[in-house]
Structure 1
Amino acid sequence: MTTTFIRNHQYNYIKKQSDFVLKTLRSVADRRVLETVRYSAEVNVTEAFSSLTVDQEQMLKPISTLEKAEDFQQYISGFEPYLEPFPPITLKQIQKLFPKNKKMKLPDLASFDFRYVTYLAWADIATNKLFIVYPYEGQFIGVEGRIIPTHKKGYCLFCNRQQELAFLTVKTKPELASADNIASVGQYVCIDNHGCNQSITDISSLERFVLSVQK
């Protein structure tokens, strides 16, 4: 039985490192530079994991020895059986995360390939709402916010890539605030959640945001 150990953002990071090595191979002739890039890529992909078995580490290390585009493609595709999917979730569980929104639009869970999902997100265009579900320490956190398309490109808080953004505003009540003291937090995020999930390589900013606005 295959043991999964690679989360989506780690998989994206491995792809990003692989793309950088391949690009360097195609554009740089200096062998010293190439060897430095190869070594750095190997170190980076292994350090992206808090713990690895000997076999898992040996699976990652060949990034420093690849030569051709086909080699990199095989290297990346070889990790697909080891992807750790987004934890199983039902529509009933999702509804419980948003108890105050009785008429919320629910996602089509069958449309997601959960191997490539870091955070589950879907928009309700009719109400300009964005819903986010994120797994954290064995539980799910639900975030509901209002989105306004900016029709401009910039850097997304979650994936840190330059893409068309939306401004996401989430109401949050400080723990010791009065009933009327409701603040809001706003951040620029990708308007394309699917593309964001395909690009995110670090979950630090995403987790900080989700934990700061959770109810």
Structure 2
Amino acid sequence: MYGQFIRNHQYNFIKKEINYLQRTYQTVSDRKVIEAVRDSTEFKISELFADSENGIPRELFQKILSLQTAEDFEQFLLLLESYRTTFPQVTEKQIQKLFHKNKKLPIPDLTIDNRYLTYLGWTSIATGKLFMVYPLDGQIVGIEGKMTPTNKKGYCFLCNKQEEIALFTAVSKSRPAHSSQDYYKVVGNYLCMNSEECNKNMTDITALERFIQEVLR
């Protein structure tokens, strides 16, 4: 009815909110509290698509107001699966073009289910680098940087979950006017060692897009 419009991070956000609502039904007896959480859940999820070209799919998300049983919640999330959009399919040649300076560039598994990707990320054990591909402003872009493991858990700046993290540092392509030939700027932050887990956790793309823009621009 609505086509595929739910991106991976949006589905993760919806699932988190729906699970919270389900726990509220299971643990809270006050009907007013339940109704407040239910209405808040429906509002927050609808707001995800407030700027959608097709408008907010209110009929779909108004189903939240009638969820009560464990089966209701499970069926609703299964329903949303059919509306998930896919990460743009990229080819080996596209990846090689994005990272053309890397002569021994490792190619990630391109047969994975793209519905579960917010970004495509993979590491090179030989060089200790992370490569990242993302559709920014309608264009497929790539950035690369050094991955320095911390050997401990911490909060990833992309997904904001506690996972095994590494310091990711990338050299920015931007250069101030009249800067010297030796000038360079490094952009860095801590993120998940495992990109697959990071994609499962992501509920917002703001930090990701800001970081990519800082590296590229």
| TM-score bucket (shorter structure) | over 0.9
- What is aligned with 1:106? 107
Gap change, CA 1:52 and 1:23, over 3 Å in 2 = farther
Matches within 5 A, 1:86-165: 86-110=87-111, 112-165=112-165
Count of residue correspondences: 214
Q: For the structure 1 residues 159 and 58, does the alpha-carbon distance in structure 2 shift closer, same or farther, using more than 3 Å as the test?
A: same
What secondary structure does 1:187 align onto? strand
**Cα pair distance change 1:55/1:173, threshold 3 Å:** closer
> For the residues of structure 1 that align with 2:186 and 2:205, how far apart are their CA atoms?
22
Q: Deviations over 1:143-193 (max 9, x none)?
A: 101111112222111111111111111112432233211121110001111
* Matching residue of 1:204: 206
What is the TM-score with the length of structure 1 in the denominator? 0.94
1:11-160 pair list within 5 angstroms? 11-49=11-49, 50-51=51-52, 53=54, 56-110=57-111, 112-160=112-160
Q: Is the 8 A contact 2:175 2:184 kept in 1?
A: no
Q: Which runs of 5+ in 1 are unaligned?
A: none
Q: How does 1:169-184 map to 2 (within 5 A)?
A: 169-176=169-176, 177-184=179-186
| Equivalent pair of 2:172/2:185 in contact (CA under 8 Å) | yes
Cα pair 2:130 2:147 within 8 Å, conserved: yes
Q: From the superposition, tell whether residues 14 and 141 of structure 1 become closer, same or farther in structure 2 (CA, over 3 Å).
A: same
**For 2:57, what is the secondary structure of its paired residue?**
helix
Cα distance change on mapping 1:184 and 1:18 into 2, 3 Å: same
Q: 1:23 to 1:214 in 2, by over 3 A?
A: same
Q: Which runs of 5+ in 2 are unaligned?
A: none
Give the TM-score normalised by structure 2: 0.93
SS of corresponding position for 1:109 = coil
Q: Would the alpha carbon gap of residues 173 and 39 (structure 1) be closer, same or farther in structure 2, given more than 3 Å must change?
A: same
Aligned-partner SS, 1:146: strand
RMSD of aligned C-alpha atoms? Answer: 1.7
Is the 1:4–1:84 contact (alpha carbons within 8 Å) kept by the matching residues of 2?
yes
Identity %: 48
